[in-house]
């Protein structure tokens, strides 16, 4: 193995490691995003539930002011929590998008290194084949030359035998 190929294989190993790390980060980001979606859905249900409870209290003929105030506070808290969950989801989706892009970039880098290794191997193979063809040509020329020399040596001897 030549030093150039060793260097490319080292770069390939590094690229594979970086793909694995980027894949791990992307998986973590997808998990965070999934968790944020579930939390948003739960917060949305809680907010809708407290809104329905508040509307139910307000539609009653006899309003309990303390219960109404508590229900309003609960609704505002749920709405604030919902906004926080939406913000968390946006952050999570942004992280997931960046992690996926990084993973794609690392995969492209790994493919480039693989292509470089394949090209290097093909070039080495072509050089080896060229050497083998040159040796085969040299052997053929040597054999053809030897046959001509033998013919030349036989021709004068053959004339002398006829005479």
Task: Give yes or no for residue 163 having a pLDDT over 50.
Answer: no
CA distance 92 to 20: 20
Could you give the C-alpha distances from 150 to 20, 137, 146, in angstroms and in order? 68, 20, 6
Q: What is the DSSP string of 38-72?
A: HHHHHHHHHHHHHHHHHHHHHHSSS--HHHHHHHH
Extents of the domains making up the chain? 3-127
- State in words which class domain 3-127 has: mainly alpha
The pTM of the full predicted model, rounded to 2 decimals, is 0.68
Give pLDDT tens digits for 135-157: 999 999 999 998 888 888 876 55
CA distance 14 to 7: 11
């Amino acid at each position: 193995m030549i030093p150039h190929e060793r260097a490319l294989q080292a770069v390939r190993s590094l690229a594979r490691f970086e793909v694995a790390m980027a894949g791990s980060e992307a998986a973590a980001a997808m998990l965070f995003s999934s968790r944020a979606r579930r939390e948003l859905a739960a917060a949305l249900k809680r907010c809708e539930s407290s809104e329905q409870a508040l509307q139910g209290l307000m539609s009653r003929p006899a309003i309990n002011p303390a219960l109404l105030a508590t229900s309003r506070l609960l609704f505002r808290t749920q709405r604030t929590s919902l906004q926080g969950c939406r913000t968390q989801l946006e952050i999570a989706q942004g992280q997931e998008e960046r992690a996926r892009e990084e993973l794609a970039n690392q995969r492209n880098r790994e493919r480039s290194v693989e292509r470089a290794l394949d090209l290097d191997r093909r070039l080495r193979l072509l050089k080896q084949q060229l050497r083998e063809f040159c040796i085969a040509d040299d052997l053929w020329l040597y054999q053809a030359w030897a046959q001509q020399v033998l013919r030349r040596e036989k021709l004068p001897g053959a004339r002398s035998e006829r005479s």
